[in-house]
A = this chain, B = another copy of it.
């Protein structure tokens, strides 16, 4: 009986985390669309959505807390719950990045529109795909999918580096558009941070699925982990 309630709680936790992921992804997409269309109303939606994301984060943490307090979880459930609390923090910070992007767009919209040598649309698509796949790997409990996300991170880093170089060049050649170029550069940097959060999420999924910590290139199954596994 207690176990049934516990398992229902785990399902609820998973469902809420997915909703939270949907909100965070939507916020990033909206912020990037606002950048492309110079659309202040979308910026406003992103700013207003932040409170909702923050509330969702708190509720997930509380549910995780309640589940841990409810009964002694098995090692596999414990790993799952801890992974959820970590993924939860990352999703909330994805939401923060969306807000940062929206703020930069609000700055840009006040300045003359100029073409800039940076493909935010492409970068945004790559980053969104990373967040989505990281969440898919979580739903399906598939470490291979999570692994693919880790590899995509390098691509986004490269895009950011390229954006950095070309935009600094623009600033040098056209001081009159420095501020627009800087805003774009910071948007690219915010997107790179979203990619970093997707990477963290993928690592947490691998930790949960494999029971191994891949975060810092560590070999799986350390003595401490073995102990726990044997304990159950």
Contacts and interface: CB of A to CB of B under 8 A. Distances in A.
A68 interface: yes
Copies of this chain assembled into the complex: 2
Given A85-B85, A224-B66, A51 B171 contact: no
Interface residues of A, number: 48
A7 to B, nearest CB: 15
Interface stretch (A15-23, A37-45, A74-82, A121-129): A74-82
Given A70-B224, A75-B69, A168 B172 contact: no
Nearest to A216: B54
Nearest to A186: B189
Contacts of A228: 65-66, 69-70
A63 B178 CA distance: 49
Interface in A34-76: 51, 54-55, 57-58, 61-73, 75
B54 A215 contact: yes
Interface of A: 51, 54-55, 57-58, 61-73, 75, 78-79, 82, 85-86, 89, 168, 171-173, 175-176, 178-179, 182, 185-186, 189, 213, 215-216, 218, 222, 224-225, 227-228, 231-232
